[in-house]
Amino acid sequence: MDYRDRHVVVTGGTGALGAAVVSALLEKGAVCHVPVMDKAEAKRFAQRGHDRVRLVEVATLADEGEVARFYAGVTHLWASIHIAGGFAMQPLAETGKTALMAQLEMNLVSAFLCCAAAVRAMKGAGGRIVNVAARPALEPRLGAGMTAYTVSKAGVAALTGALGQEVAADGILVNAVAPSILDTPANRAAMPTADHALWPKVEEVAATILFLASPRNKVTRGAVVPVYGTA
């Protein structure tokens, strides 16, 4: 998977999974463009000083103008990987419209707008788009107690399938991964008694994302790939 001189957007690139994706891309020679909304997280980002990392401050990825401004600064875009999002655990009866819209904006709207900007940038040249859904998007019963999150991620899965068909003739292959609970420090702290050995590692999920976003992927499109580990 040779990414030399290929420009790749990674939203959520300073988070646990995003950082693993960026590190793997850099090893393969990519130039990584990472929108930054959390300045504190960006300061902790191990690759912030790398000469092929471009960190760009954005207010939100749920605003068309902000997304357009960010993508306008990326030349020769090859791949756009959309990891940015948010999670909320809350019963439906306690979830108001504000909380629902927050999940939709963080997860679905951000992916939708970034997909649209990426498609415009890739027109005529082809490229790859990879979204991040979640296991409850494919198995909704697992979303009990976090319905707003589940609905937003199910939207990401549907977006991937529809867009994958829409832009295939333009040489743009659109796919997604659907992780189960990732093995991250935050998740371990939140669930200290769980069997962490069963959870997929961020580096393992990153490897799947890298293949889907790479020139080696010539045929897979519209797929939502389960990356569950052994959980």
Give the model confidence (pLDDT) of 58-74 as tens digits. Answer: 999 999 999 999 999 99
CB atoms within 10 A of CB 52: 17
Which pLDDT score, from 0 to 100, does residue 39 have?
86
The verdict on whether 149 is a catalytic residue reads yes
Determine contact, residues 127/118, Cβ cutoff 8 Å: yes
Q: Is the pTM of this model over 0.85?
A: yes
Alpha helices in the chain (DSSP H): 16-27, 39-43, 64-72, 97-103, 110-122, 135-138, 147-166, 185-190, 202-212
Which pLDDT score, from 0 to 100, does residue 38 have?
87
Q: Give me 38's structure tokens.
A: 């959390």
Let me know if 182 is exposed, middle or buried by CB neighbors in 10 A (0-12, 13-18, 19+). buried
Is pLDDT of 129 > 90?
A: yes
pLDDT, mean over the chain: 97
Which pLDDT score, from 0 to 100, does residue 1 have?
84
7-227 classified as CATH 3.40.50.720: yes
Any idea where the domains of the chain sit in the sequence? 7-227
Catalytic residue among 3, 71, 149, 228: 149
Q: With bands split at pLDDT 50, 70 and 90, how would you rate the model's confidence at 231?
A: confident
Give the model confidence (pLDDT) of 163-191 as tens digits. Answer: 999 999 999 999 999 999 999 999 999 99
